[in-house]
Structure 1
Amino acid sequence: MKVQGWLFLLCGLFFAGVDVAYWFWTKAATGTGEPVGTTAMAISVGFAFMIGYYLMFTARRIGDQPEDNKQADISDGAGEIGFFSPHSWWPLFVCLAAAFAFAGFVIGFWMFLIGLFLIILAMIGFVFQYYRGHFSH
């Protein structure tokens, strides 16, 4: 994970340099720096540093991984990675409920409240989908 952490930290440094260059370039062209693009790139800098810090922090906590060892074989990373859902309808229901709630911003507050209730129900179903039925643990 150290490799990925350093990659994101270096991307953050690159984005920071591009952000400063963009601000100076737009300041020279228009007289004032362009705030929207500069802010968007500054957010990219923050996101890259945040992900890089998280990966470096996690790498220190869990120790060396096979991808950190230059002499590692592919078989060193073998084993169980985790549980992945074979299929699920719940993401569709969450998105439909979110679309209903967002439409409530336009149509009325009552529709937003119904959508919020539907989102909560769909999220409960999404989280607890493997606690009963054929795929229960």
Structure 2
Amino acid sequence: MKVEARIFEILAMFFVVMGIIYAICTFFYRTGVEWTGAVCMFFAGGLALIAGTYFRFVARRVEIRPEDYEDAEVEDGAGELGFFSPHSYWPIMIAGAAALFAVGFASANLWFAIALVFVIIGSVAGLVFEYHVGPEKH
């Protein structure tokens, strides 16, 4: 996880530095600083810093992986990577409900959008608890 943390921290620094350069370069243009782009750059840096901080925090709790060694070989990472659900329909339901929510919200059909918020929450709950109920329960 240290590699991922380092990547996101470098991205955060890049976006902040580019935001400063962008603000300085647009300041000397005709209309002054173009704040939308500068703020977006700083927000992108903040989001990358959030992800990097999360990975740095998780790296302390997770055992060292082959990716964290400088001299690791490809075959060091061989083996089982985890469990992935082969037959789950919940992600499709979440995506469909989110798409319909966006259409309802964009068309100002607020009752439809509000109803779909509950469908999204129910679908996410179904995905999270998929293997805690029913015949798949272990």
Bucket of the pairwise TM-score, normalised by the shorter protein: 0.7 to 0.9
Q: Aligned partners of 1:88, 1:112: CA distance in 2, in Å?
A: 25
Normalised by the length of structure 2, the TM-score is 0.79
**Unpaired runs of at least 5, structure 1:** none
**Residues 118 and 8 of structure 1: CA distance in aligned 2, closer, same or farther (over 3 Å):** closer
Instruction: Identify the residue that residue 27 of structure 1 maps to in structure 2.
Output: 27
Q: Aligned partners of 2:85, 2:126: CA distance in 1, in Å?
A: 14
For residue 75 of structure 1, report the CA deviation from its aligned partner: 3.2
Number of residue pairs aligned between Structure 1 and Structure 2: 136
What letter corresponds to residue 2 of structure 1 in structure 2? K
Q: Aligned partners of 2:73, 2:117: CA distance in 1, in Å?
A: 49
Instruction: Identify the residue that residue 49 of structure 1 maps to in structure 2.
Output: 49
Q: Aligned partners of 1:30, 1:92: CA distance in 2, in Å?
A: 48
Instruction: Identify the residue that residue 71 of structure 2 maps to in structure 1.
Output: 71
**Unpaired runs of at least 5, structure 2:** none
Matched, 1:3 2:3: yes
> What's the C-alpha RMSD, in Å, of the aligned pairs?
2.3
Runs of 4+ in 1 over 4 A off after TM superposition: none
Output aligned runs, 1:1-137, within 5 Å: 1-105=1-105, 106-130=107-131, 131-133=133-135, 135-137=136-138
Normalised by the length of structure 1, the TM-score is 0.80
